[in-house]
Chain A
C-alpha cells in the first residue's frame, strides 16, 4: 500500500542516507542505492486437527550497493551504523578501483509510487491470532467432511508486512508498504494401503477478509481434498512424446520456466541464455502473446515499484510469436542499452537485485476449450502442477503435474499419477496450435527461486494445446 514511509522508521535520517550515498558514489561508480527494509512475518499452522504452531519473525536492515560498469559492490547489515556504512563504502570503492569519494550525488527527491495496487488499512494488516486459528479449524472440518477417506489435513496461513524505502544516487527516495499473505492446504487421503496427497492454496497482497469472502477458504479445502481423493484412483502415467492440453491458470508455470527465466536480461547480457540474440525472431506460434505484468491489483506478483524504486509495468515479451523484450533491472538495462521494465527485485535487504518476473501470462486466444480437448485423439490433460525448473543455457525445462488425465478419442478419461513434462524453451511454444478464450490467473501461490533468492510471483494461462511434448510417465 502506498504511503510515505519516513526513513526514521528505519532509525536513519534523510541526511544520514544522503551522506551514505555520497560516500558510496566514488569516482567510476555509475550508480549506488540504499535499500531499507522492515519485515514482520507471522504464521500459524495446523495438522492432526489442532493448530499447534504459531510463529512471528521481525527483521530489519539495509542493503548498500554500488555498481561500476558490470561490477557490483554489495554490503548489508541489520544495523545502520557508521561502521557498517564504511564497510559498504569500502566494498563499493574496491570494485570501482577508486581511492576515495569525490562526486556529490543529487539530493534525493522524496516521492511516493504514483498508484496503489494493494491498498489496505494498516489495522487490517493485523489479524488476531485467534481469527487465524478459527480459519484453519474451519478448513480442517471442511476437508474431512468432503470425504471420510481424508485422514490428515495440514494447513498453514502466512502473512508478511513489509516496509521498504529506496534511496538512489540518481536522486530518488521512494517507499512502499507491501502486504502479502497465503493460505496453503495439503490433504492426505487413505483407502486401505493406498495413500495419496492433494494440495491447494491461494493468496495475494490482500487483507484477511479475502479468505472469508464467499467462504473462499472452504473452497480451497474442498479442492485439496478433491485432488487427494481423485489421486486414489489414478493410473500410471504414459511415457513418451504426445499432445498435451494444459488447463488455464497455474499451468502457466510452463511460461515461467520455458521462456520467462530465459528472457531475464542478466542471462542475455552475459549471452548464457538459450534466448540470447533471439529478439525479433520467432520463438512461438502466431497464437501466442505473452506478457509480464507487475501492475495487476492485489496480485501476489504485483508491486507498486520494484526494489530499485522503478514503477512496475506491463511488458510484452512475445507478440504473436515474435520475441520482443527482455525483462530488466537498472544495471542490465544500462549495460545493454535497452528499456528499463521495472523488474529489479530482491528477496530482502541481504540479497542483491536481479531481473525477475512479476506476473507472467499468455493472453487469451479464440478457441473454445472444449474444442481444444476434442481435437486430441490420445494425449494428456494437465490441470495442476507442482514445481518446475529450467536450465537457462540449453533451454531444457521441466514441470511436474499433480493432477492430470488421459485424453482418449477427444474425451477426458482416467486420472493419471503425477508425471514430469520436459521440453526445450525456445521450441516448445512453436508447438502451441490452439489457445483458448479462457485466460485464468493462478490463485496466488507461486514462489520463484533464482540464485538462492525467493520472490513471490504469479502466472496465468488460457487452455492451450501443445502438439507434442515428452511426458515422463512409467507406462510405455
Chain B
C-alpha cells in the first residue's frame, strides 16, 4: 500500500472561479438568482471471482449543474463539458428553459442570511491512495475467506473492492461558496452455498463501507460473515399462511426506517402522497421509537457540512417517543408546508434540490437480537426483503421475504418464498421491542426490532 497526499487545492480554487464565472454569465443572461454545483472525483473498482480478477474499472469524472431563477420561474441543467463554448450554451439554454415554465410563487434560493457560516471538516476524507495490487488483494482475501469458512460454499458471485474520492463545490448568487472532499472505501463479498443432495443454491452477501480505509473491518471477517449468511439459508422452505410476530434484523429494520424517511420527506407531504400527511405532533409510532437525522456525525456516511442549498446541516429529532416532531425539508418543500428548511436539501448535479436524509437512525434500545428472538414463541425472523410492494400514499405494505422461523425462542429453520404484509401506519405502532445493536452501514440505520403481529403468506 502506498500513501501519498493529493494536492487538490488548485482544483477547489479552480472550481470556485469557474462557478463564479458561470454565475456572472447567468446574471448577464437575465437570471435574478442562480446556484451551481461542480463535482469531480476518481473511482476505482475491482471485482474478483473464484480467485481471479473478473473486472477492473478506473475512471475520473466531473460534472457541473446550474439552476437559474428568472423571477419566480426556474430551470436546471447539467453538463460534463467544461469548455467555454459549452458553458456559454448551457447558461443560455438554462435561461431559455426557465422562461418557458410557469411562475411558481414559492420558488427561489433560501434567504442570504440562512446560508451556512461554518463548514466543519467532519472527517469525511481520507487521503490514503491504494495501489491496484492492494485493492485486488482485499477482494481476493474477502472471497477466499468465504470459501474457507464452510465447505458448502461452492461458488461465488464475486467480491468487490471499491474506492472513490471526490470534491463538491456549491456556490450561489448570494455569494455563498462551500466545498468539501469525501472518500469511500468498501468491500462486499457474495458467496453461493449449495445444498448437497438437492443441489439447491442460496446466495447472500456481506459488506462494509467506511469513509476511512483504516476503519474497514478485515477482509476475512467480511468474507466469513457473508459465508455464514449464505450457508444458513440452505434447506429453506415455505411456511403456512398465518398471523405472527415478526422480528426484523438490522438490514431489514433499516429498510423500514427508510420507508419512514420517505414518508416524512417534504416533497411527498406537500403533494399529499404520504401516509404521514398532517401528522406533525401526533403519535405515529410506539413510544419506544425515537429517530434522529444527524448531518454532522463525524465520519458519517451521510454527513456533510452544508446541504444541497448551502444551509448548515444539523441534528434534527424526527420522532421522539413515538411522536412525529419534524419532517425532512428543504427550502421549497418547507415553504409549501409553511415551515423552515431542516437543512435536508439533497442535490444531485443537474437536478433541482430534493429532500434526503443525512445520517437517519433509530435510537437503540436495551435488548440483544438474541433476547428479542427468545421472546417469540412462534414467529418470523426476517433477514431479506425483496420487491417494491409499498404504497407510500396509503402505507399498504406487502413484500417478499426470507429468513428463519422462530419456534420457542430459537431459530428453527430457514424460510423463503413467503410475503409479509400489513400497513406501515400500524406497523410502526406495533413495534414492541428495539434492539441494542445499532451499526451504521449506510446513511439509514436501525437496530433489530420486533413487530407484534403481521400477516405472513406462504402455503
> Given A73-B56, A271-B155, A391-B203, do A195 and B102 touch, yes or no (CB 8 Å)?
no
Of residues 68 through 93 on chain A, the ones whose CB sits less than 8 Å from some CB of chain B are: 70-78, 84, 87-88, 91
Within 8 A of B (CB), among A30-75: 44, 47-48, 50-61, 70-75
| Docked-complex contact B400 and A474, CB < 8 angstroms | no
B420 within 8 A of A: yes
Find chain A residues with CB under 8 A from B241 CB: 239-241, 476
Q: How far is the CA of A190 from the CA of B393 in the complex (A)?
A: 11
| Complex contact B391–A59 (CB within 8 A) | no
On whether A418 and B61 interact (CB within 8 A), knowing A386-B389, A396-B416, A471-B457, the answer reads no
Does B78 lie at the interface of the complex (its beta carbon under 8 Å from any beta carbon of A)? yes
Mark out the residues of chain B between 70 and 93 whose CB falls within 8 Å of any chain A CB in the assembled complex. 74-81, 86, 90, 93
Q: Which of B63, B74, B101, B417 contacts A133 (CB 8 A)?
A: B101
Determine if A188 and B61 form an interchain contact, defined as CB atoms under 8 angstroms apart. Answer: no
Please tell me if A410 contacts chain B, counting CB pairs below 8 Å.
Answer: no
* Contact flag A77-B59 (CB < 8 Å), given A55-B351, A392-B203: yes
Nearest Cβ distance between residue B142 and chain A, in whole angstroms?
17
Contact with B along A368-411 (1 / 0, CB 8 A): 00000000000000000011111111101111100000000000
| Interface contact A74-B421, CB-CB below 8 Å | no
Within 8 A of A (CB), among B392-423: 393-394, 396, 398-400, 402, 416-423
Partner of B53, one of A71, A129, A392: A71
Residue among B53, B271, B387 facing the most chain A CB atoms (10 A cut-off): B387
Residue B273, interface by CB 8 Å = yes
A398 contacts B62, CB within 8 Å?
Answer: no
- In the assembled complex, the Cα of A237 lies from the Cα of B398 at a distance in Å of 10
Chain A residues with CB under 8 Å of B352's CB are: 53, 55
Report yes or no: A394 in contact with B416, Cβ–Cβ below 8 A.
yes
User: Of B96, B200, B272, B399, which one neighbours A420 at CB under 8 angstroms?
Assistant: B399
Bound together, the chains give a CA A471 to CA B398 distance in angstroms of 9
Checking A57, A77, A151 against B60 with a beta-carbon cut-off of 8 angstroms, the contacting residue is: A77
Contact across chains for A59 and B80 when beta carbons are under 8 A apart = yes
- Chain B minimum-CB-distance residue to A197: B393
Question: In the complex, which residues 432-476 of chain A have their Cβ closer than 8 Å to any Cβ of chain B?
Answer: 470-476
B38-64 interface with A by 8 A CB criterion: 49, 52-63
Q: Which of A125-182 contact B (CB under 8 A)?
A: 128-130, 133, 151-152, 154
CA distance A419 to B387 in the complex (A): 11
Closest to B61 in A: A78
Which of A75, A130, A473 has a CB less than 8 Å from the CB of B100? Answer: A130
Chain B residue nearest in CB terms to A87: B58
Given A188-B271, A241-B459, do A94 and B132 touch, yes or no (CB 8 Å)?
yes
Given contacts A71-B52, A240-B457, A474-B455, contact A400 B398 (CB under 8 A): yes
Task: Let me know if B184 is at the binding interface, CB within 8 A.
Answer: no
A60 & B81 in contact (Cβ 8 Å cutoff): yes
Task: Answer yes or no: B94 CB below 8 A from chain A CBs.
Answer: yes
Contact of B389 among A55, A57, A398 (CB under 8 A): A398
With beta carbons under 8 angstroms apart, the residue of B107, B243, B396 that contacts A52 is B107
Contact B61 A420 (CB under 8 A): no
Whether the Cβ atoms of B402 and A396 lie closer than 8 Å is: yes
- Whether a CB of chain A sits under 8 angstroms from the CB of B123 is no
List B contacts of A84 (CB < 8 A): 60
Interface residues of B in 405-459 (CB under 8 A from A): 416-423, 455, 457-459
Q: Do B81 and A58 have beta carbons less than 8 Å apart?
A: yes
Does A274 lie at the interface of the complex (its beta carbon under 8 Å from any beta carbon of B)?
yes
Which chain B residues border A391 with CB–CB below 8 Å?
A: 203, 386
When the two chains form their complex, are residues B155 and A270 in contact, meaning their CB atoms are under 8 A apart? yes
Considering the chains assembled together, what is the distance between the CA atoms of A94 and B131 in angstroms? 12
Question: In the complex, which of the residues A47, A95, A471 contacts B271, with contact meaning CB atoms closer than 8 Å?
Answer: A47
Contact between chains at B75 and A55 (CB < 8 Å): yes
Distance of A73 from chain B, by nearest CB (Å): 5
Contact A272 B56 (CB under 8 A): no
CB distance from A142 to the nearest CB of B (A): 18
Residues of A within 8 A of B203 (CB): 272, 391-394
Residues of B contacting A95 in the complex (Cβ-Cβ under 8 angstroms) = 53, 56
- Which residues of chain B are within 8 angstroms of A350 by Cβ–Cβ distance? 59, 61
CB pair B455 A400 closer than 8 Å: no
- Give chain B's interface secondary structure class: strand
Instruction: Tell which of A59, A75, A133 touches B102, judged by Cβ atoms closer than 8 Å.
Output: A133
- Contact across chains for B56 and A74 when beta carbons are under 8 A apart: yes
Contact present for B400 and A389 (CB under 8 Å): yes
- CA distance in complex: A399, B200 (Å): 23
Shortest CB distance B388–A (Å): 4
Chain A residues in 8 Å Cβ range of B402: 396
How many residue pairs bridge A and B at CB < 8 Å? Answer: 262
Distance A51 CA – B214 CA, assembled complex (angstroms): 49
Given A53-B76, A394-B416, answer yes or no on A418-B398 (Cβ-Cβ < 8 Å).
yes
Would you call A312 an interface residue if the criterion is a C-beta within 8 Å of the partner chain's C-beta atoms? no
In the complex, the answer to whether A57 meets B350 with C-beta atoms within 8 Å is: yes
Q: Is B78 in contact with A57, judged by CB distance below 8 angstroms?
A: yes
Q: Is the CB of A129 within 8 A of B272?
A: no
Q: Which residues of B contact A88 (CB under 8 A)?
A: 58
B201 interface residue (CB < 8 Å to A): yes
Q: A52-B102, A129-B97 are in contact. Are A472 and B394 (CB under 8 A)?
A: no
Interface: B208 (CB within 8 A): no
Q: Which residues of B contact A239 (CB under 8 A)?
A: 241, 419, 421, 455, 457
Known A197-B391, A394-B203, A400-B388; contact A418-B396, beta-carbon cutoff 8 A: yes
Cross-chain contact A61 with B80 (CB below 8 angstroms):
yes
A87, A95, A272, A476: residue with the most chain B Cβ atoms closer than 10 Å: A272
Name the one of B389, B393, B419, B423 contacting A195, with C-beta atoms under 8 angstroms.
Answer: B393
CB B274 to nearest CB in A, in angstroms, measures 9
Interface: B157 (CB within 8 A): yes
Report the nearest B residue to A83, measured CB to CB: B60
By the criterion CB–CB under 8 Å, are A152 and B80 in contact? no
Is B387's CB under 8 angstroms from A52's CB? Answer: no
Query: Is B104 an interface residue, CB under 8 A from the partner?
Result: yes
Q: Is B128 at the interface (CB under 8 A from chain A)?
A: no
CB proximity of B95 to chain A, nearest CB, Å: 11
The answer to whether the Cβ of A423 comes within 8 Å of any Cβ in the partner chain is yes
Interface pair B393/A472, CB less than 8 Å apart? no
CB distance B155 to A55 under 8 Å?
Answer: no
Q: Is the CB of A476 within 8 A of B104?
A: no
Instruction: Decide yes or no: A196 and B393 within 8 Å by CB, A470-B458, A472-B457 being known contacts.
Output: yes
Instruction: Say yes or no: A400 contacts B389, CB within 8 Å.
Output: yes
Contact with A along B14-25 (1 / 0, CB 8 A): 000000000000
Q: Does B202 contact A (CB under 8 A)?
A: yes
A290 on the B face (CB < 8 A) = no
A448 to chain B, nearest CB (A): 13
1/0 contact string of A336-354 vs chain B (CB within 8 Å):
0000000000000010100
CA distance A281 to B79 in the complex (A): 50
Contacts of B157 in A (CB 8 A): 270, 272, 393
Minimum distance in angstroms from B233 CB to a CB of chain A: 8
Question: Which B235-266 residues have C-beta < 8 A from chain A?
Answer: 236, 238, 241-243
Q: For the complex, give the distance between the alpha carbons of A419 and B312 in Å.
A: 41
Looking across the interface, which residue of chain B has its beta carbon closest to that of A394?
A: B202
Min CB distance A416 to B, Å, is 11
- B153 at the A interface (CB under 8 A): no
User: Would you call B394 and A196 a contact (CB within 8 A)?
Assistant: yes
Closest residue of chain A to B230 (Cβ to Cβ) is: A393
Give the CA-CA distance A110 to B78 in the complex, in Å: 32
Distance A195 CA – B402 CA, assembled complex (angstroms) = 31
Q: Are B455 and A76 in contact (CB under 8 A)?
A: no
Question: Do residues B386 and A472 form an inter-chain contact, with CB atoms below 8 A?
Answer: no
Closest B residue by C-beta to A130: B100
A237 vs B394: C-alpha distance in the bound complex, in angstroms?
14
Q: Which residues of the partner chain A approach B389 to less than 8 Å between Cβ atoms?
A: 386, 398, 400, 418-420, 472
14 interchain pairs, CB-CB under 8 A: A55-B77, A55-B350, A57-B78, A58-B81, A129-B96, A188-B271, A188-B393, A387-B388, A398-B389, A398-B399, A400-B388, A420-B399, A476-B243, A476-B455
Knowing that A53-B101, A476-B241 are A-B contacts, what are 6 other residue pairs whose CB atoms are under 8 Å apart, sorted by A's residue number? A55-B350, A57-B350, A59-B80, A417-B394, A418-B396, A472-B421
